[in-house]
Every structure is written in structure tokens, then in C-alpha cells.
Amino acid sequence: MGATQRPTIKTVAARAGVGRTTVSRVLNGSPLVSDEARAAVQAAIAELGYVPNSVARSLVTSRTDSIALVVPESESRLGSEPYFSAVIRGVSGGLAGTQIQLLLTLVRDRRELDQLTRFLTARRVDGVLLVSVHRDDPLPGLLEELGVPTVLAGRRSPAESLSHVHSDNVDGASRAVRHLVDRGRTEIATITGPLDMDVAHSRLRGWREALRDAGREADESLVAPADFTEEGGRAAMRVLLERRPGLDAVFVASDVMAAGALAELRGHGRRVPDDVAVVGFDDSIVARHTDPPLTSVRQPVEEIGRTMTELLLREIAEPGSARRNVVLPTSLVVRDST
């Protein structure tokens, strides 16, 4: 009622005294339009407040001008929230200047996975960014099969066939351990992420390599796997203290787990850093507020999001181009826990 019908390309054409096609050409920046026609069309568009109907465009071009960021629920629940929003910010930044919209899809159960599958099969998005990949995640394979352009944050394994972006986890972990060695620590344990994730393996490898290079012990009894949660970090710390009561340092594969480890250490009367030094990973907001503030390996999360987006846009623009992967550098932020 009241509001007059939204103008279509036809209205604009009539107003400008040209054909539909010419309007379309102006809209899409074709050079095959005379200056006067272009001016007339632009004037008409302005007068009518015309906004093209992108649904109609999608129908014929079969592009949607949107991408999906897919997040397995576990990821967002398990305290990695700062990571999550930084990625979003990066993605959004990478999309700035394009007309491309971002869809956010949390997948928390089988039903939602099926729904997502249908959605992807229907080609409702031009591409997918996938965060938090586990070794036998079905989604990457599905995406590959469907031929949907995809970029992963992280990888299923070192042999990942899809494009992906991640930070240099091995080097970051090594840095952390070298720092502990430099501080004179001798019995350096580690708490890892879930070992069905490559990121956990890489950080573990960094720990191993740094210890080996320093000629220190890298015994399995110094390794306790956890699940990236605070409670998990706490439990792993308990196990380590039992197994290796003499340990004087721990490299923890995430800040949130490190927070749990700190609590457990406190519970056992160990002083940090005097008795035990602790390094986390992520340099998230948590690291600044623990007691004591946590030395942590900083990874450029926002940049990961931005880079993923760039790779994805390229893959969409040039289908069939080679898969790429980008490794971004980490750095160590030293605080009071070491």
C-alpha cells in the first residue's frame, strides 16, 4: 500500500529513453555504451532511486555474490571465541569493497550438517570458508566433491589438497620453547590440543623440535593431550604434575587451556613463574588477564581471516586455478608467567 512499486530495469530504460540492454550495460560497466546514453541512464537511476534486483541477476548468472563462513559449533563453544570473532573481522575486512555478502553457518549436529549439505548442493553460495578442521571432518571432502571453491583455516593434514591459511604453528611453538630454554628451564612439559587436529600436531612438533635442538629431553611423559577447553587444560596439568613432579615449565597449546593449567598449578601450591613457567598460545584477551598475565604466542588471526577471503575470492574468480596455501608468522608476547 502507499509505497509505489520499486523501479525495475524497465522503468529506468523507459525513463532514460533507451532499451533494457543499455541500462544493463551501464550497470555492469560495459564500454559499449555512448556517453550520452550512459549519462541518461545514470540520471534516470538517480531520479528513480533504482537499485538492481540481485536475486534476478543471480538467477541468470548463477552467481550469488555471497560466501559462507562455516563454523563447527565445538569451535565456537570451546572458549576460542576471541579467535572466532577476530576471524570474522578479518573476513569482513577482506570483503570490504566488494558487493559480496557473508553468511554465517554454525553446524552443531547431524541435522544441521545435512541442511548445510543441501544448501551447498543448491549452490546457494559462491564459496566457503571453513574454520576448525578436524582430521576426519566430512565437510572438506564434500566441498571438494561438489567443486565449491573452498578455503580452510588450518588443514586436515600436512597433505591438505584444499587451499588453506594458517599460522606457523611449528615455529610459534618452537619460539615458545626456546624462550623457556633461554630462561633456564630444564624440564619443559606441554599440553596439546585435540590430536585429531593438525594444529595440535604442529604445535607439538614445534615443542619437540625445539627441545631436540636444545639437546633437551622430549619424553612422552612430558606430553599431555587436552581439548582446548579450560577444564581440559586443568586436568592435563594435574596429570603432568603427577607424572613429572619436577617439571619447571609448560608450553600450553592455547591460552584458555593455559588458564586452566594456571589454576591447577596454584591449587598445588606451585608459584608461577618462580616454580613453573607457563606459555600459552593465541595471545587472546584471556592472556592479558590471567594471574599472572600469560606469556603467549601471538598469531595474526584477523589477517588469517582476511587472507582466506582473498584466496577464496581469487578461486571464485578463476575457477580451476591452482590451490594455494599461506602460512603466516607468529610472534612471542612475553608477560609475567615466564
Partner DNA sequence: CCCGCGTGTGGGAGCGTTCCCATCAGGTTG
Partner DNA sequence: CAACCTGATGGGAACGCTCCCACACGCGGG
Of residues 47, 61, 161, 242, which one binds DNA by CB under 7 A? 61
Burial of 109 (0-12, 13-18, 19+ CB in 10 A): exposed
| Minimum separation from the CB atom of position 266 to a second copy (A) | 11
Of residues 72, 79, 194, 233, which one binds a second copy by CB under 8 A? 79
Asked if 225 contacts 255 with a C-beta cutoff of 8 angstroms, the reply is no
286 is a site residue for a second copy (CB under 8 A): yes
49 is a site residue for a second copy (CB under 8 A): yes
The pairing of strands 295-298 and 331-333 is antiparallel
Which residue's CB is nearer to a second copy, number 34 or number 115? 115
159 is a site residue for a second copy (CB under 8 A): no
| Minimum separation from the CB atom of position 112 to a second copy (A) | 7
32 is a site residue for DNA (CB under 7 A): yes
92 is a site residue for a second copy (CB under 8 A): yes
> x/- contact string, 237-276, with a second copy (CB under 8 A)?
----------------------x-----------------
| Minimum separation from the CB atom of position 199 to a second copy (A) | 20
Binding site for a second copy (CB under 8 A): 3, 6, 49, 51-56, 58-59, 64, 66, 69, 76-77, 79, 81-82, 84-85, 88-89, 92, 96, 99, 101-106, 108, 112, 115, 118-119, 121-124, 147, 259, 285-286, 288-292
Binding site for DNA (CB under 7 A): 6, 8-10, 17-22, 24-25, 27-28, 31-34, 36-37, 50, 52-53, 56-57, 59-61
